[in-house]
Amino acid sequence: MSFDHSGRVAFVTGAGSGIGRAIALRLAFEGAAVAVADVQLGGANQTVEAIGAAGGRAFAIELDVRVPAQAEAARDAALETFGAIHFLVNNAGLVRMSSLDDLDEDEWDLVLDTNLKGMYVVSRAIAPAIGDAGGGAVVNMSTIESEVIVSSAGHPQVHYNASKGGVKMLTKALAVELADRGIRVNAVAPGPIATSFIPGGDLRSAEAWAFMSTRLLIDRVGEPEDVAAAVSFLLSGDASFITGTQLPVDGGWLTR
Amino acid sequence: MRLVGKVALISGGGSGIGAAIARRFAAEGAKVALTGRRPEPIQSLAEEVGGLAVPGDTSDPAHAVSAVDRTLQAFGGLDVVVANAGVGFGGTAGDVSDDTWRATIDINLTGSLFLVRAAMPHLEARGGGSIVLVSSVSGFVSSSSSAAYVASKAAMIGLAKSIAVDFGPMDIRANALCPGWVHTPMGDESMDELAADRGISRGDAYRLATAMVPLRRAAEPDEIASCAVFLASDESSYVTGTTLLADGGGMAVDVASVAFDSLRGSSVGGSSVPEGSVWEGSS
């Protein structure tokens, strides 16, 4: 591990699985105390157990990021347990796939409310606490699909793309607004990462690889740990002059 | 200690960002070789960090080959190349002289190519590596009367992407690092012009020029060097063909370059940076 986050408290949403769990584990291994928030408490508990088994400090919080009262309660629980919050990782998100003709309002709202409104809800709840702690950093989970439509995947997802495009600009706006409180705000934009994020998708399958290998410059599917490394960097003092940016962690997907 | 066992070659290593990168790389466990036009600064720094100094002209292809060869002789391999040497000259596309244009492109862009080209077979021989081209926010946005500098920095971003595409299969990553204002000799030169215009101190000029940048300050060179460490290290092993902005948020707002110009009193058609004015150093 590379960064020393000891004495810091991180609040990670969607930390019960996938990329969020990898981020929580990494920050904990680097010394941070971690509030592990997830809409599914069971997953959050498993992340906390893994952190505890490695000697780290963490506790699990059930959190639906769409609900302001839950975000405020989760913040208060984190402050009560660890005394402060320095880092926020807005990682919770989901994807659904529907063509425009089949996309009903409920599904649109589910995706936009979780991926975009959730970042506003949780940021509004927690940014003041980070300011009270003397400053810190926020990292928002974006995607390469905030930049391009991966059309050849054959899965229309106008709501997902719109939500993540929103995340990209939300990141810039929060960076500008929160700079004077000593809070840096950045996004990471993963390419294909081997998680169970895509319903029914297996990025390690031969079929998936046949498509992805035509895009990637690095000869492998990304791992959650690749994203966690970038998040840890952006939260650390090594990134003290970086704010308002979106860093692709995409194996070169967006390069050509 | 993220660069243990790695050998890095850094151009323009005598001052500013290059010198900060050399110090950070050495602190992270790398063996470092430095190039620069003036021998004294890089020799002094090489002694400080236990590295190698290879003085020479960045725009000379023979110098790049020699720098790579001497690095291999000294350290037995090469893993990381940081093309950082750079200069800035004033001039618009309407009045820049042939010599100014060529010197800027030769040093900033072609010099980067020469270094990368000389290093590439040796990165391949190690089974991969990382290339960092030190570009600038000027690769995205233009300040006034900086045609050659802006063109060279934008081209360095393209060069990084080209390297990433062609050498990805050899496990060689390439990225462009794009700083905003940094407290360097080159930054000082620019601020001294603003300071002279305004009758203010250099420090006040930095404050004026960064007044609309969200972090309200210029970077210290070490804050850019820490970004170079990330890009050089295996921490960024899935990051290639992209740009890492380290600009205090300047590119997120609509004043990334305007702040300096408006304060400097530039206008369209005006050339507030005198032809031949030199900002020398790194980036």
A179, A242, A252: residue with CB nearest B245: A242
* Spatial separation of the C-alpha atoms in residues B87 and B104, rounded to whole Å: 6
Are A25 and A1 a contacting pair, CB within 8 Å? Answer: no
Summarised one tens digit per residue, pLDDT across range A91-140 is 999 999 999 999 999 999 999 999 999 999 999 999 999 999 999 999 99
User: Which strands make up the sheet holding B31-36, listed edge to edge?
Assistant: B52-55, B31-36, B7-10, B80-83, B129-134, B172-179, B243-246
Q: Which residues of chain B lie closer than 8 angstroms to A179, CB-CB?
A: 214-216, 249
> A179, B216: Cβ pair inside 8 Å?
yes
User: Which of A203, A250, A202, A211 lies closest to A230 in space, CA to CA?
Assistant: A250
Collapsing DSSP to helix, strand or coil, B182 comes out as strand
User: Which of A170, A145, A136, A138 lies closest to A12 in space, CA to CA?
Assistant: A138
B161, B236, B249: residue with CB nearest A179: B249
A244 touches chain B (CB under 8 A): yes
Provide the annotated active-site residues of A: 160
Are A190 and A19 a contacting pair, CB within 8 Å? Answer: yes
Cα–Cα distances in angstroms (integers) from residue A202 to residues A146, A153, A227, B202, in the given order: 21, 13, 18, 57
Q: What is the pTM of this model?
A: 0.94
Residues of chain B with pLDDT under 70: 256-283
User: Which of B188, B97, B235 lies closest to A238 in space, CA to CA?
Assistant: B235
All structural domains of chain B, each given as residue ranges with its CATH number in brackets, are: 7-184+218-253 (3.40.50.720)
> B253, A244: Cβ pair inside 8 Å?
yes
Share of chain B residues as helix, strand and coil, in percent rounded to the nearest 5: 50, 20, 30
CA angle in degrees (0–180, nearest 5) for B10-B16-B17? 50
Burial class (CB in 10 A: 0-12, 13-18, 19+), A228: buried
pLDDT of the residue at B262: 54
Q: Which fold has domain A9-249?
A: Rossmann fold (3.40.50)
Would you say the C-alpha torsion A14, A18, A23, A26 has a positive or negative sign? positive
Strand B31-36 versus strand B52-55 pairing type: parallel
Mapping DSSP onto H, E and C, the string for chain A reads CCCCCCCCEEEEECCCCHHHHHHHHHHHHCCCEEEEEECCHHHHHHHHHHHHHCCCCEEEEECCCCCHHHHHHHHHHHHHHHCCCCEEEECCCCCCCECHHHCCHHHHHHHHHHHHHHHHHHHHHHHHHHHHCCCEEEEEECCHHHCCCCHHHCCCEHHHHHHHHHHHHHHHHHHHHHHHHCEEEEEEEECCECCCCCCCCCCCCHHHHHHHCCCCCCCCCECHHHHHHHHHHHHCHHHCCCCCCEEEECCCHHHC
pLDDT of the residue at B278: 46
A251 touches chain B (CB under 8 A): yes
Q: B238 CB contacts (<8 Å, ≥6 apart)?
A: A191, A218, A222, A223, A226, A227, A249, A250, A251
User: Which of A91, A69, A85, A168 lies closest to A128 in space, CA to CA?
Assistant: A85
Q: Which one of A168, A180, A241, A253 would you mutate to disrupt binding with B, by most B Cβ within 10 Å of its Cβ?
A: A241
A239, A244, A250: residue with CB nearest B214: A244
Global ipTM: 0.95
Radius of gyration of chain B, Cα coordinates, nearest whole angstrom: 18
Are A242 and A15 a contacting pair, CB within 8 Å? Answer: no
pLDDT of the residue at B36: 97
A233 touches chain B (CB under 8 A): yes
Are B74 and B51 a contacting pair, CB within 8 Å? Answer: no
Block mean pLDDT (10 aa), chain A, length 256: 92 98 98 98 98 97 98 98 98 94 97 98 98 98 95 80 98 97 98 82 82 92 97 98 98 96
Q: What tokens were used for B201?
A: 């101190």
Collapsing DSSP to helix, strand or coil, B36 comes out as strand
Are A132 and A78 a contacting pair, CB within 8 Å? Answer: no
